[in-house]
Amino acid sequence: MSGNRTREALILGVLLGAGLTLLGWFTAQGIVRLRALDRTVTVKGLAEQEVPADVAIWPITFAVAGDDLARVTADLERNTGLVLAFLETAGFTADEVTTGVPAIIDKQAERYGGGDQGRFRYLGNGTVTVYSPAIEKVRAAMRDVGNLGKQGVAVGSQNYDSRTQFLFTGLNAIKPGMIEEATRNAREVAEKFARDSDSNLGKIKQAWQGQFSIEDRDSNTPHIKKVRVVATLEYYLVD
């Protein structure tokens, strides 16, 4: 009886040892495969495209000054009419033009005026804004706006509050193509890295699409935009 138990214990020990050996082998192979999968490369791909603006917002500001409130108010109305007539002659429709509410400041009534109040008591400001997809028509009218000065309209300069804006609103139409280009460029970089490291490029592990940015091509051509996106991809490297 004791001999049988000894034999059974021996067989059990052999089987247990063999099982532990196989378990160790499979574990080692799993670690090797896991480490192989952990070999990755992260690359970036850039896509840029120049596009024309498709909407212009052009505020035309003008000012009048005087000591007679009624006269200042009348001059504002006159100048508004001259600006509207100028824009109509330039080919803009009523739907493209918005007249702002005029503002008149009584400098003597300013509580914190102080200092030099200037020659005239009243200062009036008016704004007529053009919102149009006709970019070239807007640019041509901007070149001719000096003609309003010959009619007595003091058109304001292009400061931050009244600067002309050229916008591009067609981003959704070009997004897919630009993402494809950025991804392709990133893959080309990854493939070169894999070749240089004597490896092969595997599947994508992770991918991130960067934010699209729209900027003026340069300060002299705000009506031409540069659209830019960067895609970041992480690839597996395999032997």
Residues 46 and 61 in one domain: no
Q: Which residue has the tokens 């596009």?
A: 51
**pTM score:** 0.76
Residues 162 and 173 in one domain: no
Residue 107 CA to residue 10 CA, distance in Å, equals: 110
- pLDDT, tens digit, for every residue of 184-220? 999 999 999 899 988 899 999 999 988 999 999 998 9
Q: What's the count of helices (H) and strands (E) in the chain, helices before strands?
A: 4, 10
- pLDDT, tens digit, for every residue of 196-205? 988 899 999 9
Q: What is the mean pLDDT of the chain?
A: 85
| Residue 83 main-chain phi, psi, to 5 deg | -65, -45
Amino acid identity for residue 194 in this structure:
A
Residues 121 and 135 in one domain: yes
- Please list the alpha-helical segments (H only) found in 38-154: 69-89, 135-144
Residues 162 and 150 in one domain: yes
> What is the model's pLDDT at position 112?
60
Residue 73 lies in domain:
55-166
CB atoms within 10 A of CB 66: 17
**Opening angle at CA 42, ends 36 and 44, nearest 5:** 155
Count, residues in the chain: 239
- Tally of domains within the chain: 2
> What is the model's pLDDT at position 119?
84
**Structure tokens of 74?**
């009348």
Residues 159 and 102 in one domain: yes
Say if residues 61 and 125 touch (Cβ distance below 8 Å).
Answer: yes
166, 201, 227 - which closes a domain: 166
CATH number at residue 176: 3.30.110.170
> What is the model's pLDDT at position 88?
97
- pLDDT band per the 50, 70, 90 thresholds, residue 158: confident
